[in-house]
Amino acid sequence: MKVAVKRLKHELDLAEVTFLAEVQTIGSIHHVNLVRLMGFCAEKSHRLLVYEFMSNGSLHEWIFPKKQVVTLRWELRRKIVMDIAKGLAYLHGECRQKIFHLDIKPQNILLDENFDAKVSDFGLSKLIDKDQSKVVTNMKGTPGYMAPEWLSSIITEKVDVYSFGVMVLELLCGRKNVDLLQADEEDMYLLSVFKRKAEIGRLLDLVDKNSENMQINGEEVVEMMKVAAWCLQVDYVIRPSMAAVVQVLEGLASVEDLIEYNFVNQIVQSRIEVTNDSVLDPFCLSGPR
């Protein structure tokens, strides 16, 4: 059986007692859309986590491939969005201890042999008491996916909702949220382009041009873009919960009518300097074992 082994870096100086307590909590979490922790090592200074192996790699590899050989069809992209939403909804409100992921991005979404999407790298140092609605923390995450309230350091689960919105747009548009190869500076930042196209009613222009299937289903893709826009509201209070997003994706509810497209300036956000001390990126992924 293949597994993936992750080694925690030395700078994540977790005491053995803390490490064991957190691993025990993570190990007890089972959901079809979360990568399963299968074992660990806490011998001396070694901190290793053993996860199920996901044969189709990360979502990042499929939406931003080095060589454009195969593109994901609309039906599969829609399913992937639903899978991610269900995984996050479980972390935020359905498991015994609330978990804020704090670093949702395509690299942290893994795909199994059936292209079922699962959220990875959740748990360590991000476990929240069930009755807490906010936490105060240092800046973590990846620039471009970070909600504007990171600058206040008062964080709720809505930071994951914002990152989810950015990632959904990337998946639907087939481009990164920051693309410095664009000739026009105004087109470098996906949220800026999204705002501009929304204001003139031209969201169809953003549908992934590398996929004929996505173009054919453009109207449905645009409807999902509106879900992403709801998740990207600057005021986190207005953003939906992930449970509400799941309901919309299942057709049981509708997106709020009054969506603001006045997103945070992506240029400013992409240039936020995050020091090594403040980034929570403790893992180094090995190959299959």
Closest by CA position to 13, among listed 238, 195, 280, 285: 280
- The answer to whether the beta carbons of residues 251 and 188 sit under 8 Å apart is no
103 annotated active-site: yes
Catalytic hit among 83, 103, 121, 208 = 103
| Catalytic positions | 103
